[in-house]
Amino acid sequence: MNIEVIKMVAWKTKKKNDIRKLLKGRFSGAKFRIKIDTYKGGETILIHTNLIKPIGKYLILKNKDKYEKVNMKRYILLREKHHNNIMIYSEISRLLSTYKYIDRDIHGKILNSDNSYLIVKGLNEY
């Protein structure tokens, strides 16, 4: 194996372990899967966690009185899940702010140099 490949694997493993330690310190009972993809323009840190709940689909049924109460209950539950997911994502993003970097020009356009993206998803999302 090439020495550069060995160094890259060791670096990724250390970074994953550091990220996992930060996340476990804040969310002790949660499950995390961490994957780091590197490419020429930077890297993507993908975190799957059971803290992010699937929202599902919501169907609006108009002009049907018997469905309005059911839909309102579903809407409230979905809104709460969505709000909780945003709060979890914000907290994870804050914890890992040193690992996330996007280089932009003065107009806000993303430049193609050493960017590090952070993506947080549920455990079963791909």
Residue 122: its pLDDT value, please?
84
pLDDT value at 72 more than 90: no
User: What is the dihedral angle through the alpha carbons of 103, 104, 110, 114, rounded to the nearest 10 degrees?
Assistant: -10
Q: pTM of the full predicted structure?
A: 0.70
Tens digit of each residue's pLDDT (9 = 90 or more) over 1-42: 577 767 667 778 888 989 999 999 999 999 999 998 887 778
CB 52 within 8 A of CB 120: yes
Q: With pLDDT > 90 as the criterion, what percentage of the chain qualifies?
A: 20
Q: Whole-angstrom Cα distance, residue 45 to residue 93?
A: 11
User: What is the dihedral angle through the alpha carbons of 17, 23, 27, 31, rounded to the nearest 10 degrees?
Assistant: -50
Per domain, the residue ranges of the chain are: 3-122
Residue 84: which of 27, 35, 9, 25 has the closest Cα? 27
Mean pLDDT (the chain, rounded)? 78
